Structure 1
Amino acid sequence: MRAESFNPYHVEKKSLQQEKNGSSKLTRAETANRYVEEKGETIDFGRRKFIAGLLATGATAAIGGKAIETVLEMTKSDDSSAAKTESMPAPETKAERLEKEEVAYVPEDDLTDEEISQIKNLLDFDAPIELNMEKYSLLERSWKNKYSDFSLYKKEFDSAYARMEKYKQELSAYFSKCGVPYEFVYLSIPESYAKSKALSHMKARGPYQFTEETAVDYGLKINGKVDERTDFLKSGKACARFLKDLFKELGDWTLALHAYNGGFSRRYAKKAKAGNEIPSEEGFLEYMEKDIEAIRQEIHAANHIDYKVAEGNTLSGIAKKYSVSYDKLRQYNGIRDPRRLQIGQNIKIPLTAANREFVYNKKVSGRLENIHYGPKCNAAFELVREKRNEMKNTA
C-alpha cells in the first residue's frame, strides 16, 4: 500500500559543491542534509564515495540477520558519556519538515479560537480522543483556507492547477470511463502539487505518489531505464483504476481516499462488514477514535513499548528515534554488545515523563495524517469545482 504524501516545498538552494566553494562552511549534518535534498533520496551508507567525502567513523547495523559494520557520522553528547553513533534514517529533509508544518499550520481566518484549538489538539495526549463529523468538517474548512487564502499554499495550489491543464481532458475522460468522479483527477494536487518527479521520504514517486509495489500491481513499468510513476498520464490512469477498486471494496468515495493514503479505512471496513455494518465516514471516525484512544491509554499506563529491530537499525538510532538515552536503552534491555542486533529482535523502549508524549505523537502520526487526508482532498476538490464554475461564468 501507499505511504505518506510528498510535500514539495523545496526552496531553491545553491548546489552542494557551490556551498563548499563558497565562504560559508557547512557542518557535517548540514552537508548530509543537503545531499539528501539534492539527490531526492535517503543516504545509502554503502556508497564508498559518499562515505569518504562526508562521514567517517563506525557503527553496526542489523542486516539480513547478521551484524555488519556500517560507516556513519559520530556525535558526542554534552555530558561526559562516550561518543555514540548516529544511524539511519537519514536526517530530516526540508520537504519532510514542511510536510509536518503543513498539517500543523491552522489558518485563523473564518475560524473561532475554539475551532482552532480543536484542530491543533485533535489527538491531544492529555485528553480523551473525540473524533466526529463536526471536527471532520472543521478540518476540511481549515484545508480550504490553506489552499485559498494563505499565500504559500495558495501559490502551490494555483501552480499545480495550472500544470494539470494539459492532462485534465484525457485523464477526466479516463476517470469517467472507470466510474471515478472527474475531480479525483486532481488528487495529484494534495499528493504532490502535480509534480512528476516528486519523491516522498517513503519512496512514493510521481504526481500520484505510487509506491513501487502498488505501481506494479496497476500496470506501471519500473526498471533500470524507465519509471512510469513519473509519467503523468500513465500514473493518472493507474490512479483511476486503483480508486475504482478501492470504491468497489469500500462503497464510499471518501473512504476510498483514506485508503489511497493508508490502510486504516480498509481495516475498518473489514471489521464493519464482519459485524454486518455498512462502512461509513462516521463509522470510520469512531473506529479511529477507539484505536487512537487505546494507544493513548496504553502509553500513559505502560512502563515500556516493544519495538522489533528492522534492517539497518542500530541501537543508537532506535534510542534517538524514541527520545531515550542510548545508555538507558542498552541497560533496560540488558544488551552487552549492541553490535549484534538481529532483524526481528524485540527491543523494549522505556517510557518516562520525558518521552511519553513524544512516543505517543510518533506512534499516531500516520493516523493523524490519514484523518486529515480525506478533508484535505475534499477541500482541494471543492476549490477545483469553484475554479471550473468561475471559468464557465466568465466564458
Structure 2
Amino acid sequence: MKNIKNIFAVIGFLFVMASLVYAVQNSDAEAALVAASENVVDENTADVGYKISAIDIPEDLNFAGEAVPLDDPEVLERVDREFLVNTYWQSNAILLMKRAHKYFPIIEPILAKNGIPNDFKYLAVAESGLQNVVSPAGATGFWQIMRATAREYGLEVNENVDERYHIEKSTQVACDYLNKWKKRFGTWTLTAAAYNAGPGGIQKYMDIQKANDYYDLLLNPETSRYVFRIMAIKEIVSNPAKYGFDVAKEDFYQAVPTFTVEVDEPIGNWADFAQQYEISYKVLKRHNPWLREPHLNNASRKKYTIEIPNKGYYRESK
C-alpha cells in the first residue's frame, strides 16, 4: 500500500513539473510573439514615416486678441481636444484650407469695414465649413442665419430669393449682429458664444451662474466647445505645415473672375437668361445661390445684381 502511495506521489510530482515547464514555454512563446508584433509595428511605422503625435498648444493662444487662460487645466484640456480633433480630421482640414483661400478675400474686407476682428472669419468656417448648408433648425448659408434674424436685419427671404445665401449680404448681417451683442456682453469671446447659443441663452447662463467670463461658464456641450473649435481651426488653417499638412498654393480653390448685370424686371426663366451669356443654369446658380427658383417674379421691379463669370472659365452651355 505504501509503495502505491509513493508511486502516486511521484506521478503527481512529475505532472506538476511538466505543467510548470509547459507554462514557462508558453509564456516565452507569447512574449516572443508580442516582441515580434511590436517589431512589425515599429518597422511598418518607420517605413510609412507617419506618426500620430500629441499637439503642442501655442502659449500665446488668443481669440480676437483676448487671451485664453491656458494656466487653467480644464481650459487646457478643452483646447487640446479641439486641436486634436481638427488636426487629425485631415480631409476636412484640407477642404477648409482650400475653401478659405477662395472665400476669405470676400469676407475679410467686410469684417474690417465693420470693425469686426479678423478672427471671426473662422466663425463662418466653424458654422458651415464655408458651404451654403442648411441646419436641421433651418439656419442657412455660410453664417447659418435663421429666417427671422435675416428679415430682422433686412435680408430678403422668400420663395424666389433668399439672401442668406448671398455671401456679401449675409456677412454684413453677421457683422451687424456681432457688433450689437459685443456692446451687451463686452468681450468678443462671449459675443462668439452668443452667436452659437443665442444672446438670451448666454445671458441666462451668466445670470444663473453669476459669472461673466466665457471660460468660467458651464455651457451646453456645443457652445462649451464652440470658441475652442474656432481657435483650433484658425491655428490649423493659418499654419498648415506646423500641423503636418503639405498643401501647395496651386492646391487651393480659386475664385473665378466675374462681372455684374443689373436686373429690375421679372425673369421668366433663368436658364434662358443664362444662355444669353453662354453659361448654363447650373453655373448661374453657382455664382448666385441666393436665386432659389428657376424664375423671378419681381412684381415690385426691385433691382438685383447678378454675377456672371468671365468667359473661358467654364464649358460653354450647349
TM-score, normalised via structure 2 length:
0.49
The two structures have a TM-score, normalised by structure 1, of 0.40
Using CA pairs under 8 Å that are at least 6 residues apart, name the structure with larger relative contact order, 1 or 2: 1
